[in-house]
Amino acid sequence: MTLEEKQEQMFARWLEPQGVEFAGEEAKRAYQERVNRFKDAIQLKKAPDRVPVHPMTGLFPLAYAGVTLYEAMYDYEKAGTALRKYVLELEPDAHNGMFLWPPGRFFELLDYRLYKWPGHGVPADSCYQYVEAEYMKAEEYDALINDPTDFWLRTYLPRIFGNLKPFAKLATLTDVLELPLTCGSFVPFGLPEVQEALRAVMEAGSEALRWVGVMQSVESGLAAQGFPGMFGGATKAPFDIIGDTLRGTHGILMDMYRRPDKLLEALERVTPLAIRMGVSMAKMSGNPVVFIPLHKGADGWLSDKQFKTFYWPTLKKVILGLVEEGLVPFLFAEGGYNTRLEVIAPDLPPGSTIWLFDDTDMARAKEILGKVACIAGNVPITLLTLGTPQEVKEYCKRLIETAGRDGGFILSSGAVIDNIRPENVRALIEAAREYGRYA
């Protein structure tokens, strides 16, 4: 199959979701109309009927329904009810589903240390927050490069989950070879503390499964009523994989000066893993859009040379690897991407990516990327938080006139929307209908 055929096949799966019984002909028509709106905006072959609108919501559906994140993370049905209320009442063209509100008990069972979450370090109505640290030490690059999975299993997981600390005692499983060279690798599984850790894993697994069940039923239910989810999978840029939760911001920035070769080797090493992550999730879900939040490549963090050396080459490989499988990377470029537009534009396969911009000049983004990529954004979170509905609509109107010209555009917020006035989210969604008609 050609790339184009592969992508068409994935869109066909998104248009005819497996296991979804539409509530009726009208619901099916509405669902497909919404998916087609995104498909046209992404493929750039023709303008959609109107600008698709997808507010980048985080906690907003919960806040809108008066549910705290704490309640959502411990009562999945309640979270589902909140999501339904938001989608059915405000009618965005796509929603973010429930993946941003994962099960609290799961994290408790494993004694998760990487984040603080409601009831565990932050208040009930706050968002979970990452605890920045060096979870991988500078001298561990070789361990990561030699065997990433082994590094995750025996070094990283014991650090981020208190209850998986005994996994540090496990043996390497690649030692399992001939009959006399087998049993040794299993000895650690006999240790009482390792067995206790395994029991925690089993319980956590059951909880995750329970949560996924609720999530799938809520999201299929919304599809049945005409509302598609935005994302079929997620992955990350290799530089962010290593820089966010392994080496940390400080660590990776220093590594560019102190051990550039090791860093480059590690980035290459995790690239196929990042592709695999996006592909397996999207293929399973049948929705081609793969969410990729971008962090440390934004304007100001890295020099142009550092971006071209350390950030972009492996992110480009991830993008191309996903596109190769008929998928559509959705790159959420938080912060500014003004200085990166010229670097990324020539490398993008046309009609296969979405770029959600925040603090980026959208007229320039349209000019530079408009012929190859769908751009999305960028109603500022400060305007959405502090402005009036009228101001939001005026911003959207101007945005649609510049960035939305001739299609290839999704109206969205520049950053994640949590607890803001519902009138402002409503204004954002209405603006697409009021000002976004093509033809």
Under rule CB under 8 A, residue 335 binds other proteins:
yes
Q: Does 129 bind other proteins (CB under 8 A)?
A: yes
The single-letter DSSP state of residue 236 is: -
Site size toward other proteins (CB under 8 A) is 36
Which residue lies nearer to other proteins by CB, 3 or 122?
122
Q: Please give the Cα distance from 108 to 101 (Å, whole number).
A: 14
Q: Which stretch binds other proteins (CB under 8 A): 23-31, 173-181, 296-304, 317-325?
A: 296-304
C-alpha dihedral sign at 133, 248, 413, 88: negative
Q: How far apart are CA 134 and CA 249, in angstroms?
A: 9
User: Residues 78, 85, 116, 397: which binds other proteins (CB under 8 A)?
Assistant: 116
- Minimum separation from the CB atom of position 318 to other proteins (A): 21
Is residue 342 close enough to count as binding other proteins by CB under 8 A?
Answer: no
Q: Which CB, 319 or 415, lies closer to other proteins?
A: 415
Q: How many helices (H) and strands (E) does the chain have?
A: 20, 9
* Among 282, 283, 313, residue whose Cα is nearest residue 297: 313
List % helix, strand, coil for the chain (3-state, nearest 5).
60, 10, 30
**Concatenated DSSP letters of 45-74:** SS--SB--B---BSSHHHHHTT--HHHHHH
CB-based contact 136:156 (threshold 8 Å): yes
226: tokens are 């005409």
Phi and psi at 49, nearest 5°, equal: -60, -40
Q: Which residues contact 146 (CB under 8 A, 6 or more apart)?
A: none
| Residue closer to other proteins (CB basis): 71 or 93 | 71
Of residues 139 through 168, those in contact with other proteins by CB under 8 A are none
Residue for token digits 């990042």? 274
Contact (CB, 8 A) for 400 and 434: no
**Residue 291 vs 310, nearer CB to other proteins:** 310
CB of 137 to other proteins, least distance (A): 16
Q: Which residue in the set 3, 15, 27, 127 belongs to the binding site for other proteins (CB under 8 A)?
A: 127
Rule CB under 8 A: choose which of 382, 390, 401, 433 binds other proteins.
Answer: 382
Closer CB to other proteins, residue 22 or residue 60? 60
Shortest separation between residue 426's beta carbon and other proteins, angstroms: 18
Single-letter code of the amino acid located at 408: G
254 binds other proteins (CB under 8 A): yes
* Site pattern 12..51 for other proteins (x: CB under 8 A): ----------------------------------------
185 vs 339, beta carbon nearer other proteins:
339
Q: CA dist 298 to 166, 237, 293, 340, Å?
A: 38, 12, 11, 8
Interatomic CA distance for residues 16 and 23, integer angstroms: 14
Of 122 and 171, nearer to other proteins (C-beta) is 122
Residues 6+ apart with CB under 8 A from 213: none
From CA 315, how far away is CA 270, in angstroms rounded?
Answer: 11
Smallest separation, CB 330 to other proteins (Å)? 20
303 binds other proteins (CB under 8 A): yes
Q: Is 300 a residue that touches other proteins (CB under 8 A)?
A: yes
Question: Of the listed pieces 94-102, 138-146, 190-198, 411-419, which binds other proteins according to CB under 8 A?
Answer: 411-419
Q: Binding to other proteins by residue 385, rule CB under 8 A?
A: yes
Residues 255-284 that bind other proteins (CB under 8 A): 256-258
Chain contacts with other proteins (rule: CB under 8 A): 59, 116, 121-123, 126-127, 129-132, 249-250, 253-254, 256-258, 300-303, 306, 334-335, 380-383, 385-387, 415, 418-420
